[in-house]
Structure 1
Amino acid sequence: MRHTRHIRPVGLLLVAAGAAFALAGCSGGGDAGPTATVTRTVTPTASPSVSSAAGAAPATGSSAPTATPSCGPSDGAAAAAGPIADLPLPAGLESARWDAAHADTSVYDGCAALSAVTVSVVDATASSPVAVLLFHDGSYLGTATKEQYPFVPQVTRESADAIRVEYRYPQGADSNADPSGRATATYTWNDDTGRVVMSGDVPPTP
């Protein structure tokens, strides 16, 4: 399923517009189905502790971000500590906790129009949920999707204001150790509207 999503830093309200069905963040997907537009509004937080994820493939960037007029914390660990502490856990995993000490901050930049931090849970397995946190000038915007998908995604920088996330998911008889499914979404900061626009796909709903 292909989605376009807008994230504006003003609340934690998720609104699905033009969709004929309920949408969990940007969750859903698959080979066929209606197109939905989702607007997510979130309140940026100046977060103050995290570092790079155990078992997580480090995200790499294709180009260095260009500094914008205002910058947040230069340390991704400091920027993501507060948001990770406040991040709800997926249903059924309420007794777990996010592993802030091993979050992947390699795509974070406090002066970039859009950057990201990736975090999984403590003692994560290959199929544990992973959250992708988005930041504008170091200020937290919210997670890339409302549903936190399993398997560590590949997060790369497309430009100073765009992040590419390649999600993985199992297909057919795939084992959790080697899921063959791929879904790619691009998140772009629109300076005119003050929102993040998502285009592309996320893993299909089981």
Structure 2
Amino acid sequence: MAAAGCAADGDSGSSATHVHNPDPTTSSMPTGCGVDLSASVIQSAIAALPVERVTGAAWSTDPRGFEGNFDPCATLSTVIITVQGATGSSPDQALLFHKGEYVGTATQDAYGFTSLDVDSTKDDTVGLAYKTPGSCDACADGTITRVQFHWEGQKVRMIGIPPK
């Protein structure tokens, strides 16, 4: 499945993300560097999102529930959000930021059990781990699918394919 606004680029398992930021948020960008999951640019990005399309739930704006590595100085960083009133298996969405500016969601669809893959995350690359439940939501026999999102000058390239 391609990322939101993506078009296949001919490489198997890759797609180029062509996202448009409908509401530029650079004016509210923090001036310091470092991870800051409470930055106002994150709140602005969430406000621009439509409700989660499967559940119809609004996205949570509470930074205590965010995961990620948002850094206004990083080439590419992310904040993983969930819906209001979430449970452990509720949909999550990864918001991507280039130098602190919101560039879009990692994927069109939201997935439960999404986490930052720290080992495959670098300044210009965000790694995400998507867990597909096994015999039950909390059981250890689920499958982990790792996907990377790499900044390539003007766009994000998805490396790998999220679960179906």
Structure 1 or 2, whichever has the larger Rg, is: 1
* CA deviation profile, 1:7-57 (whole Å, cap 9, x unmatched): xxxxxx8253468xxxxxxxxxxxxxx756354222272165xxxxxxxxx
Shift, 1:118, TM fit? 0.9
Residues 16 and 156 of structure 2 are in contact (CA less than 8 Å); yes or no, is this contact kept in structure 1? no
The percentage of aligned residue pairs carrying the same residue is 29
Task: Structure 1: give runs of 5+ residues left out of the alignment.
Answer: 6-12, 20-33, 49-71
- Note closer, same or farther for the CA distance 1:79–1:105 as it changes in structure 2 (3 Å cut): farther
Which residue number in structure 1 is paired with residue 156 of structure 2?
196
Instruction: Tell me the amino acid that sits aligned with residue 157 of structure 2.
Output: V
8 Å contact kept, 1:103–1:117: no
Asked whether the equivalents of residues 16 and 36 of structure 1 are also in contact (C-alpha less than 8 Å), the reply is: no
1-structure distance, mates of 2:59, 2:53: 13
User: Residue in 2 aligned with 1:16?
Assistant: 7
Distance (Å, rounded) in 2 between the aligned partners of 1:125 and 1:185? 23
CA distance, structure 1, for counterparts of residue 160 and residue 9 of structure 2: 17
Report matched runs for 1:38-53 at 5 Å: 38-43=16-21, 45-46=24-25, 48=28
Structure 1's 136 and 170: CA in aligned 2 closer, same or farther, altered over 3 A? same
SS in structure 2 of the partner of residue 113 of structure 1: coil
Inter-partner Cα distance in structure 1 for 2:103 and 2:95? 8
The TM-score, its normalising length taken from structure 1, stands at: 0.64
Report the aligned-residue RMSD: 2.6
Q: 1: distance between equivalents of 2:99 and 2:137? A: 36
Say whether the 8 Å CA contact 1:188–1:196 is kept in structure 2: yes
* Structure 1 pair 92–165 and aligned structure 2 pair: CA distance change class (3 A): closer
Closer/same/farther in 2, CA of residues 138 and 35 from structure 1, 3 Å limit: closer
Q: Which runs of 5+ in 2 are unaligned?
A: none
Change (3 A) 1:155 1:88: farther
Amino acid at match of 1:200: G
Distance 1:89 1:113, change over 3 A: same
